[in-house]
Amino acid sequence: MDEELLSVTYFTRQVYLVADDIGLARDQILFFLVTVFCFVAGLLFNTILPSSRVSTTVRHAVLTGVGVGVIVYIYGVVQSGVLLVTSLICQLLMLYAPGAYMHILVSVVSLGLLAGTHIYNMVYFYGDYRVDYTGSLMIITAKISGLAFALHDGKYKKVEDLTVAQQGRSLKEFPGTLPYFSFLFNFPCVLAMPCSIYQEYESYVTGDNLPEDIRSGKKALRSNLVPALTKALAAFAALAFHIVAGAKVSIINLSREEFIASTSFLYRIAYGCVAGLVFRCRYYFAFVFADATCNAAGFGYGKDKDGNEHWDTATNMRPLTVELATSPKTSIENWNIHIARWLRWVAYERSPWQPRLAAFCLSAIWHGFYGGYLVTLPFAGLLGDAALKLRRNIRPHFQGSWAMRHTYDHITRVCTILSMCFTCTPFMLLEFWRGFRAWQGVYFYGAIIIAIVLLTVPNKKSASRSPTPPETGEQAGTGGKTAKPHGE
């Protein structure tokens, strides 16, 4: 067969010509165009094939077919084949592996293949941010392992041994081949999240996520178009800022000796905060636009605890909350929300020993093995512990009036921005020694302050603590255990 037809390079070459003409990276412009296509396809899908008009099988088939077409186009046949074969192998394990160990085998195989991909990229494309199938493989791996644990919980565990969240996610039977591949490869989510749980996705396809009065036509569904367009515009704004500011500010400068030698300490800190924001905006575009695509396709509808309708079930990132958080915990919890939920459900809640270490190890395998990742991930845990200590000792003194509470919020917001900038710099630079040089350039201020806090500030218990499940929206039901709380 002709090589161009086999790898679908005829069409991508046309895109590459356009990218070269306007001076943008080829893979990035291709990713941009495909995500826009998915958004438009989502609008058409929700308009032409709503759950009230066509069968669940038709919706699964279209979501899967378009999704597979998207990955073949953007990644090519070989890389797409890796994704499909991985999914097939894990499906066979779910169906035929010994039930007591099935979830472990599926997780080991899927994470092992992902780890191999990370190592391959480090060997042949070290330090290169590029668009390839690794991102989709990361999403699929999280979905597959989560589904395997859900099946294990439903088949082999007693209800009283499950947390409330685990009860809501457990499955008695494998969902079937078409729903399984639809869950993994549906076009709104295959490129850039969210990593939803299976029940959320299945209820979207069947329409069971909608209240009865809406399904029966007695009440109109709140329009998905406004939130979809609003999120799309926000994503485009993040992309525009990334492109414009990125031409002048680069995170890599923080590790360059000439930059460190020619700038002041305060300038380097301020530059790092701006450069980090510019860097994160590429992720804001990808994740927020994926959220918009889900909404365009009708995925994301839900109700909050007060019964108010929203379109945020598929939301994987809240940029304003991340950037303006008053604590590191709040910032982290609003970044990659669905993966944090997966880490907690699969590792943190289940580990009989050192649950935080288990979650860290799983996160490290999932993200990859760059030294910068392996520095930032555990350091973020230390930062959270230090921030919690300070909060419990200082916050009570600022609760006397409205002015004092807001003063406290503004102070902690600035401290969070500075501490998160310091903590995440190695993650963004990837390489350990680049991150070390960047930290050295600001005299390790974050590490020194955190060490002083952890060693000198006394431990205080929270004034009021009540155990809560890991996520809102999963507190319905009775019986079972609640998850271990993270803290304040």
Residue type at 472 in one-letter notation: T
Give the contacts of 148 (CB within 8 A, at least 6 positions apart): 90, 93, 94, 102, 103, 106, 107
- Tens-place pLDDT, residues 257-268: 999 999 999 999
Residue-level pLDDT at 10: 66
SS3 309: strand
Annotated active-site residue 242? The verdict is no
Using the 8-state DSSP alphabet, how is residue 163 labeled?
B
Compute the average pLDDT of residues 353-360.
87
Virtual torsion, Cα 316, 322, 326, 328, nearest 10 deg? 80
How far apart are the C-alpha atoms of 157 and 154, rounded to whole Å? 6
Structure-token pair, residue 71? 């990955």
Residue type at 391 in one-letter notation: R
Q: Quick check: 76 and 9 in contact, CB under 8 A?
A: yes
pLDDT band for position 8 (cuts 50, 70, 90): very low
Count of H helices and E strands in the chain?
A: 22, 2
> Catalytic one among 367, 393, 406, 486?
367
- Tens-place pLDDT, residues 383-421: 999 999 999 999 999 998 999 999 999 999 999 999 999
- Tens-place pLDDT, residues 133-164: 999 999 999 999 999 999 999 998 888 888 88
Instruction: Give this prediction's pTM.
Output: 0.88
Q: By mean pLDDT, which of 8-12, 326-330, 366-370 is the weakest?
A: 8-12
Annotated active-site residue 121? The verdict is no
> Catalytic one among 336, 338, 406, 486?
336
- Tens-place pLDDT, residues 33-77: 899 999 999 999 999 999 988 999 999 999 999 999 999 988 888
How far apart are the C-alpha atoms of 471 and 339, rounded to whole Å? 12
b/e sequence 272-282, b meaning 16+ C-beta within 10 Å: beebbbbbbbb
Q: Answer whether residue 115 shows pLDDT above 50.
A: yes
DSSP 381-395: HHHHHHHHHHHHHHG
Using the 8-state DSSP alphabet, how is residue 400 labeled?
S
- Tens-place pLDDT, residues 69-111: 999 988 888 999 999 999 999 999 999 999 889 999 999 999 9
- Give the residue with greater pLDDT, 323 vs 354: 323
pLDDT band for position 179 (cuts 50, 70, 90): very high
Residue-level pLDDT at 409: 95
Which residue, among 312, 256, 285, 283, has the nearest Cα to 434 in the 3D structure? 256
SS3 133: coil
Give residue 8's Cα distance to chain centre.
29
